[in-house]
């Protein structure tokens, strides 16, 4: 549903829970994969993250549909 979070309090709440859960997961993964600077970029394609992908390659947890992973 497009703009579902603005139409439904349940969707909005689920969206917040999902974001908090994902951010906490990324923080835990940052300990295991420090080379990707996850603590600072939360898994988004910052310049430093992209450089790490070029240098170290992708981890088993990278989403292969993320364009920088398709080197």
Domain boundaries, the chain: 4-69
Q: What is the pLDDT of residue 22?
A: 92
pLDDT at position 71, please?
A: 61
Question: Of 39, 60, 27, 70, which is closest to residue 49 (Cα–Cα)?
Answer: 39
Contact 59, 47 (CB under 8 A): no
Q: What is the pLDDT of residues 24-68, one digit of tens each?
A: 999 999 999 999 888 888 877 788 888 898 899 888 888 888 777
pLDDT for the residue 15: 95
Contacts of 28 (CB under 8 A, 6+ apart): none
Q: Summarize pLDDT for 7-32 with one digit per residue, the tens.
A: 999 999 999 999 999 999 999 999 99
Q: Strand runs (DSSP E) across 2-55, as ranges?
A: none
């Amino acid at each position: 549903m497009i703009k579902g979070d603005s139409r439904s309090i349940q969707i909005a709440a689920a969206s917040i829970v999902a974001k908090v859960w994902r951010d906490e997961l990324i923080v835990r993964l940052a300990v295991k994969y420090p080379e990707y600077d996850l603590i600072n970029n939360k898994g988004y394609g910052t310049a430093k993250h992209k450089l790490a992908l070029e240098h170290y390659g992708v981890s088993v947890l990278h989403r292969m549909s993320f364009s920088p992973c398709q080197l």
